[in-house]
């Protein structure tokens, strides 16, 4: 492991966070190293990953993204003190593939069977130890809960259903402590406080959370004397502005900053999937384009209604002499509750363009641009989101 000082001050959040969720699927070791090198040259600090990555998640490749980043850290140990690493522990799953990969990393062999996984203190620390080993470091700057232990609508769904209310939820592993409420909030918060005390993490955060979850976690932390969660990483873009509502109120009240993932909707808001006749196929088909390579993954990002709304935003960008990327990322960067906009790219050029679009956001997003964006949103609100009681 690289030498480091686990008690160093937590670096402040920066406008841009480098996302890595597709690395090891769409971006190989050479490409990821090139992005990391250039990111540091640009002054970038924060790198976001997860034990689940790359996506779409598989047993075979799970954890490979952390491994790539760890190899880069081992190659440049002097840079560990200049970059901040954010990773995530997976929430409950049934198959237990994530837990199996943890054991492969820590014990050198894959167990034949595990009974799912959840956010118990034992499993959180086990996951963290596996991430530390893959990342070749002895501490994590920001450790996030990838999704809640309790049943909630996830991945673009916006209905808290009767099925969820009763606790019968497909993501829950058999034998979890409470099938309706998940692992108790106090137990998770207490675990995070202990990991901070040990110096294994510097701060903790939430992801894919709700106003109820933010409030309960923060009140639990206050009660237990544990630092409040620093961040909440949720889906957020021109095509999904749900954070603007009660989530913004709850997070802002407690000083929890948003880390926006999906600000380009997996590439849809780059404009590269647009054609005159509204085809969802790319203008120049490329196996490296996420929605072309994995059409069944994150279909909400390239649904017809999302593409049609994207066309409207592209017209606004053209009118104001901006690229669609500058419009989408620049607008996200101007939100008052934003901690960092997470950019994920397949090439160095894409990463640099995205980085600059975020940095230049306040200059590019004028009041007239905001009015035009809001007019489209009122006409076509949140086209990435589905309301379903199924």
Catalytic residue among 53, 169, 261, 337: 53
Residue 58, domain extent: 16-267+331-366
Q: Is 53 a catalytic residue?
A: yes
pTM for this one? 0.92
- Please check whether residue 284 lies inside any domain of the structure: no
Pick from 213, 287, 249: nearest CA to 27: 287
Q: With 50 as the cut, is the pLDDT of residue 278 above it?
A: no
Q: With 60 as the cut, is the pLDDT of residue 285 above it?
A: no
- Please check whether residue 228 lies inside any domain of the structure: yes
Separation of alpha carbons 33 and 30, rounded Å: 5
CB 93, CB 117: distance < 8 Å: yes
- Please check whether residue 372 lies inside any domain of the structure: no
Number of neighbours of residue 196 by Cβ within 10 angstroms: 17
Pick from 111, 18, 93, 30: nearest CA to 57: 93
Question: Which whole-number Å values give the CA distances from 157 to 153, 301, 383, 388, in the listed order?
Answer: 5, 12, 11, 7
Q: With 50 as the cut, is the pLDDT of residue 276 above it?
A: no
Domain tally for the chain? Answer: 1
Q: Is 303 left (phi over 0), alpha (psi -120 to 50) or beta?
A: beta
Number of neighbours of residue 287 by Cβ within 10 angstroms: 7
Separation of alpha carbons 50 and 31, rounded Å: 19
How far is the first Cα of the chain from the last one, in angstroms, to the nearest whole number? 47
Q: With 80 as the cut, is the pLDDT of residue 358 above it?
A: yes
- Please check whether residue 316 lies inside any domain of the structure: no
- Please list, in sequence order, all residues whose beta carbon lies within 8 angstroms of the beta carbon of residue 281, skipping any fewer than 6 positions away: 273, 275, 292
- Please check whether residue 29 lies inside any domain of the structure: yes
What local confidence, expressed as pLDDT, does residue 121 receive? 97
State pLDDT tens for residues 156-186.
Answer: 888 888 778 776 555 555 444 445 578 999 9
- Please check whether residue 326 lies inside any domain of the structure: no
Q: With 50 as the cut, is the pLDDT of residue 240 above it?
A: yes
- Please check whether residue 173 lies inside any domain of the structure: yes
Question: Which whole-number Å values give the CA distances from 370 to 7, 117, 244, 265, 271, in the listed order?
Answer: 42, 43, 14, 19, 19
Q: What CATH number should be reported for the domain holding residue 74?
A: 3.20.20.100
Separation of alpha carbons 152 and 160, rounded Å: 6
What local confidence, expressed as pLDDT, does residue 291 receive? 72
Separation of alpha carbons 133 and 142, rounded Å: 16
- Please check whether residue 193 lies inside any domain of the structure: yes
């Amino acid at each position: 492991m690289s030498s480091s000082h686990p008690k160093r001050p937590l670096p402040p959040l920066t406008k841009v966070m480098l996302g890595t969720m597709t690395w090891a699927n769409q971006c190989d070791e050479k490409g990821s190293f090139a992005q990391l090198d250039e990111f540091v040259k640009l002054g970038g600090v924060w790198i976001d990953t997860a034990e689940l990555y790359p996506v779409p998640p598989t047993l075979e490749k799970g954890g490979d993204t952390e491994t790539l980043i760890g190899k880069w850290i081992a190659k440049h140990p002097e840079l560990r003190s200049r970059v901040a690493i954010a990773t995530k522990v997976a929430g409950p799953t049934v198959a237990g593939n994530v837990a199996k990969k943890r054991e492969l990393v820590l014990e050198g062999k894959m167990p034949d069977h595990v009974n799912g996984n959840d956010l118990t203190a034992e499993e959180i620390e086990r996951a963290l130890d596996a991430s530390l080993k893959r990342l070749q470091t002895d501490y994590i700057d920001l450790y996030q809960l990838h999704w809640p232990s309790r049943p909630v609508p996830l991945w673009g769904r916006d209905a808290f259903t009767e099925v969820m209310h009763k606790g019968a939820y497909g993501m829950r592993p058999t034998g979890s402590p409470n099938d309706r409420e998940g692992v108790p909030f106090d137990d998770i918060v207490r675990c995070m406080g202990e990991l901070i005390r040990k110096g294994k993490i510097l701060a903790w955060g939430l992801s894919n959370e709700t106003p109820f979850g933010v409030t309960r976690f923060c009140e639990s932390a206050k009660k237990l004397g544990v630092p409040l969660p620093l961040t909440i990483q949720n889906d957020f873009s021109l095509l999904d502005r749900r954070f603007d509502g009660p989530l913004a109120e709850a997070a802002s009240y407690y000083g929890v900053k948003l880390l926006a993932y999906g600000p380009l909707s997996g590439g849809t808001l780059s404009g590269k999937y647009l054609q005159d006749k509204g085809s969802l196929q790319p203008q120049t088909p490329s196996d490296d384009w996420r929605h072309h390579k994995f059409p069944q993954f994150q279909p909400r990002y390239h649904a017809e209604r999302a593409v049609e709304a994207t066309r409207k935003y592209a017209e606004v960008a053209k009118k104001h002499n901006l690229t669609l990327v500058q419009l989408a990322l620049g607008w996200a960067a101007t939100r008052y509750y934003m901690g960092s906009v997470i950019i994920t790219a397949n090439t160095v050029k894409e990463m640099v363009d995205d980085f600059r679009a975020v940095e230049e956001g306040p200059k590019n997003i004028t009041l007239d641009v905001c009015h035009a964006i809001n007019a489209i949103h009122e006409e076509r609100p949140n086209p990435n989101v589905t309301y379903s009681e199924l």
